[in-house]
Amino acid sequence: MINKLSDTEFQKYFASPMRLIGEDEKCSGISIRAYVLEILKAEQLEITLDEIEIPYIYVNDHDQFEHILLSYNIKDTYIVIVTNTKEIIGYHHLKLKDKYGL
């Protein structure tokens, strides 16, 4: 079952500072494939897994939360998978233009 996070819920899973995982670091390794397929179906996004990229993964300094950003065919829009590094908490649509005026 998927869990769509509201803006308020999404903010709860920020623990400043969030930092980009480096190329030499490992992420939690949680499998997100099935979860992403459920999101695509629920959101009625007409894209395939092959069209999705993972350009960024962020963690907080205490490795409590991980934000896996998925990009697809809409500029500056991401589906963010939020984990506690052991399991998926939920997902959030992050639209940079709406959120930050970019």
Ranges in the chain, pLDDT < 50 = none
**What residue type is assigned to position 61 of the chain?**
D
The three-state secondary structure class of 62 is coil
Q: How does pLDDT run across 40-61, given as a tens digit for each residue?
A: 999 999 899 999 999 999 998 7
pTM of the model: 0.88
Taking a C-beta distance cutoff of 8 angstroms, is the pair 65, 40 a contact?
no
88-95 vs 66-71, strand pairing mode:
unpaired
**What residue type is assigned to position 16 of the chain?**
S
- Please return the burial class of 27, using the count of CB atoms within 10 Å of its CB with bins 0-12, 13-18 and 19+: middle
Which sequence spans correspond to the domains of the chain? 7-100
- Please return the burial class of 75, using the count of CB atoms within 10 Å of its CB with bins 0-12, 13-18 and 19+: exposed
Q: How far apart are CA 23 and CA 74, in angstroms?
A: 25
